[in-house]
Structure 1
């Protein structure tokens, strides 16, 4: 922590070398910082990413109503986050991306936002539906140029790069929600399979992230 304070860094993950540092959210920035000379950046086009994140949101809207209401206050494995908050968060990730496209700087506080303490399944689904519809409207008629620059807490990012991060981030949490349902003994038809995560820089394990 002392080293982070010396560098003036207020968030992690971060890589440092002497007095220089870069945040760990962007693979491209890491590759450039380490001078690896390797190709980096999204493997999927923005069209493909839009299809993926839409599929992830549709899957979440199908899965969230399956969770028993009396389990929404239960915490996920390994961290103080309730099932209710996870269901909200996986859509807030996309909502924050859309905010960034409207010239709002993406900040970490967006990802720490919580739903109402008494938010039930209907409220969570209503919020998710609103975000999905907002994304569809933006993709249909908004400024979706891949090279557009968006402002984030870890530096300027292209729309393409932030869209990839948004897609896998949301998808990771939907993957977690499927596992939580299974943990609670709820059967579902697994709306997402391994192929839905290909060419995305997904965490190796379900509970990494």
Structure 2
């Protein structure tokens, strides 16, 4: 590790329930990197510091006025000059299978919440189970759209369903996303996805974006399971170790 990555000057800007944020913090801890934790969701001063950098999304790793978006751990490794090697992603077809499984799971889970529970914010994040179920489908849809030439934008991750939507409405919309996702993959001419796409954190290999889409959606599905369990409800067909294997997921479910 270089000198730049050994002091308390390093800050991580994050918010609760953010899967990439949790993974970034765990990764830095595993690498022995000390950092100052800045929760932009619950600390107005932390949010002001983030905005002062000229950034509106998290996670962000910064040193002084310099920063990197942390959607890709490769960028974090490069920014901090860490001496570590990241694992290769799973094959594209396997990543698509994992997304297929989580979308099917969320279609079951959303119906297990009562109408009141579906619209009740969870823990220290103003996000409801209904919004998170919607978010999982939107993640998959945005990954698909990136391959179709639509730039991946961070603002799209903040989209939520109409407040009047019920579990049936969310599942109906999600099942349509699922069908379109399956049709997209069936028509994919390059099963190895050897091409680049446009994202808010730069031009990226689509294989990298697909991996992030898969683990991001999977992590949030784990959180939906946690939400059910917090109400004493066993998830209908929980994700298994096999569903998680090989994905660069955080160890913790919420943080």
Same fold (TM over 0.5): yes
1:135 matched to 2:181: yes
1:108 deviates by 1.2
1:92-151 CA-partner distances (Å, limit 9, x unpaired): 111111221221111111111110111001111111101111111111103544231111
2:79 alignment partner in structure 1 = 33
| Structure 2 SS opposite 1:92 | helix
1:75 deviates by 0.9
Report if aligned partners of 1:93, 1:170 keep a CA contact under 8 Å in 2.
yes
| Structure 1 SS opposite 2:79 | helix
1:116 matched to 2:162: yes
1:18 deviates by 6.7
Report if aligned partners of 1:86, 1:173 keep a CA contact under 8 Å in 2.
yes
Select which of 109, 129, 141 maps to 1:95.
141
Report if aligned partners of 2:108, 2:236 keep a CA contact under 8 Å in 1.
no
Select which of 223, 232, 236 maps to 1:176.
223
2:247 alignment partner in structure 1 = 200
Select which of 41, 54, 69 maps to 2:100.
54
1:17 deviates by 5.1
Report if aligned partners of 1:16, 1:22 keep a CA contact under 8 Å in 2.
yes
CA RMSD of aligned residues (A): 2.2
1:172 deviates by 1.0
Q: Which runs of 5+ in 1 are unaligned?
A: none
1:20-70 CA-partner distances (Å, limit 9, x unpaired): 542111012222333335433643111111111111111111211121223
- After superposing the two structures, state which structure 1 stretch, 7-16 or 113-122, moved more: 7-16
2:18 alignment partner in structure 1 = none
1:185 deviates by 2.4
Change (3 A) 1:38 1:84: same
Between structures 1 and 2, the one with greater strand share: 2
Distance across 1 between alignment mates of 2:53 and 2:120:
38
Report if aligned partners of 1:42, 1:160 keep a CA contact under 8 Å in 2.
no
Report if aligned partners of 1:91, 1:128 keep a CA contact under 8 Å in 2.
yes
Change (3 A) 1:178 1:105: same
Change (3 A) 1:6 1:123: closer
Distance across 1 between alignment mates of 2:116 and 2:53:
45
| Structure 1 SS opposite 2:202 | coil
Moved >6 Å (runs of 4+): none
Q: TM-score, normalised by structure 2?
A: 0.73
Distance across 1 between alignment mates of 2:53 and 2:123:
33
